[in-house]
Structure 1
Amino acid sequence: MAYISISRGFTASLSERFDEMVKSIRLTLHRRRVFKQTQRELNALSSRELADLGIHRTMITRIALEAAYGK
């Protein structure tokens, strides 16, 4: 005789899953804010100020990504 076993992967309740989704969205928005702010602040610097920091304009996006999302 064959047996069928159904196993659901979700052990969390609906409200717990919703809370996790909200946390994930908030984290994503926070990271995006950090990225945009870093990019905006670095773009506001003159080329001379960036050179003093050892940064070239082509590096700004990468630096902003690292600030927001890590390496």
Structure 2
Amino acid sequence: MAVTRSNSGLDVVLDAGRTIFHQKRDQIRQALAKRKVYRATLFELSVLSDRVLFDLGISRSNIKRHAMEAAYDC
């Protein structure tokens, strides 16, 4: 006995909705992970002394740019 499955219009719409939901959820997770890297980098560089930043070749005014590069590959 063969078992067949008929996709009604509602099943198709629900499957598409699930797919979109999972894609958006994954995008949000990736964005939150990048934001976490940005904030951690920003904090870690901000607490360094001016001397240490100078040794690293980073000026205090460029900390945000370096954090953006670390998180978002800008």
Task: Give the TM-score normalised by the residue count of structure 1.
Answer: 0.81
Q: When you count helix as a share of all residues, which structure comes out higher?
A: 2
SS of the equivalent of 1:13 reads helix
Q: Which residues of structure 1 form unaligned runs of 5+?
A: 1-11
Quote the offset at 1:14 in angstroms: 1.0
Correspondence for 2:27: 24
Q: Once superposed, what is the RMSD of the aligned Cα atoms?
A: 1.0
Equivalences for 1:28-47 in 2 at 5 Å?
28-47=31-50
> Which aligned segments of 4 or more residues in structure 1 are displaced greater than 2 angstroms?
none
Q: Name the counterpart of 1:14.
A: 17
Q: Any stretches of 5+ residues in structure 2 without a counterpart? A: 1-14
Q: Percentage identity across aligned positions?
A: 42
Question: Scaled by the length of structure 2, what TM-score is found?
Answer: 0.78
Q: CA deviation at 1:13?
A: 1.3
Q: For 1:54, which of 53, 57, 61 is the aligned residue?
A: 57
Alignment: residue pair count: 60
What code does the residue aligned with 2:17 have? L
